[in-house]
Amino acid sequence: MLNRKVLISYIIKLSIFFLILLSISIGIIVFLRIRIEKIQTTLQENQRLIRSLERRGETISELRKQFEEIKTTDTTIIDAFPYSDDILSTINSIELIANTHGLQIVKQFGTPTLFMTIPDGTKISVIPFSLSLQGNVNSLTKFLSAVESLPYFVSISSASLQSQSTSDWNNISSISLSGSLYTRERE
């Protein structure tokens, strides 16, 4: 039957087969482990990039929102410059404010002079004006406050007040204002 040599030879062959099979299995396991680690590293990097892109997307949407606000503000600012050849509504607004506060007004507006050109090509002009008002100091204060609230760029460069009475500012006084109205030229 089987002798001892054949049995030992069979056991050695079987052991070599299992050792080869074990080596191949360990090799496959090591190879798969390395691949899994690479995939895991790639996944972590991709997740980090996705989070970064999400933050950038949020930043971009916030910038778009702010740009829309700026765009609206730009329009409001440009609208604050009436056209040089159409300042009648501005003059009427000033006259209405004076009448509302009980002031008599005589107004004089000069000729537009080019002041500057802004980067978008809009030409800004300045129109000098002078106002002579009759009223008391309280009315003048209210008038100036209301003029300051107008949606136009108006600067007052000088003001003089002459009161008929040296003892009371609330009497009728003559008030002279000089300033500039900033306008834009039609394209």
Quick: pLDDT tens for 82-110. 888 888 888 898 999 999 999 999 999 99
Domain coverage including residue 109: 88-184
Per-residue pLDDT at 5 exceeds 70: yes
Per-residue pLDDT at 43 exceeds 70: yes
Residue 33 and residue 118 in one domain: no
Cβ atoms of 133 and 95 closer than 8 Å = no
Quick: pLDDT tens for 158-186. 988 887 776 666 778 888 989 998 888 88
Residue 120 and residue 103 in one domain: yes
Cβ atoms of 84 and 129 closer than 8 Å = no
- Where does a domain end: 31, 58, 79? 79
Mean pLDDT of all residues in 23-52: 93
- Lookup result for tokens 């990097």: 45
Read off the CATH number of the domain in which 125 is found.
3.30.70.60
Identify which of 141, 147, 136 has the alpha carbon closest to the alpha carbon of residue 104. Answer: 136
- Where does a domain end: 58, 79, 100? 79
Cα separation values, 66 from 57, 73, 79, 118, Å: 14, 10, 20, 22
The pLDDT confidence band at residue 19, using thresholds 50, 70 and 90, is very high
Q: How many domains does the chain have?
A: 2
Residue 57 and residue 117 in one domain: no
The secondary structure of 91-150 as a DSSP string is: HHHHHHHHHHTT-EEEEEE---EEEEE-TTSPEEEEEEEEEEEEE-HHHHHHHHHHHHTS
- Where does a domain end: 16, 47, 79? 79
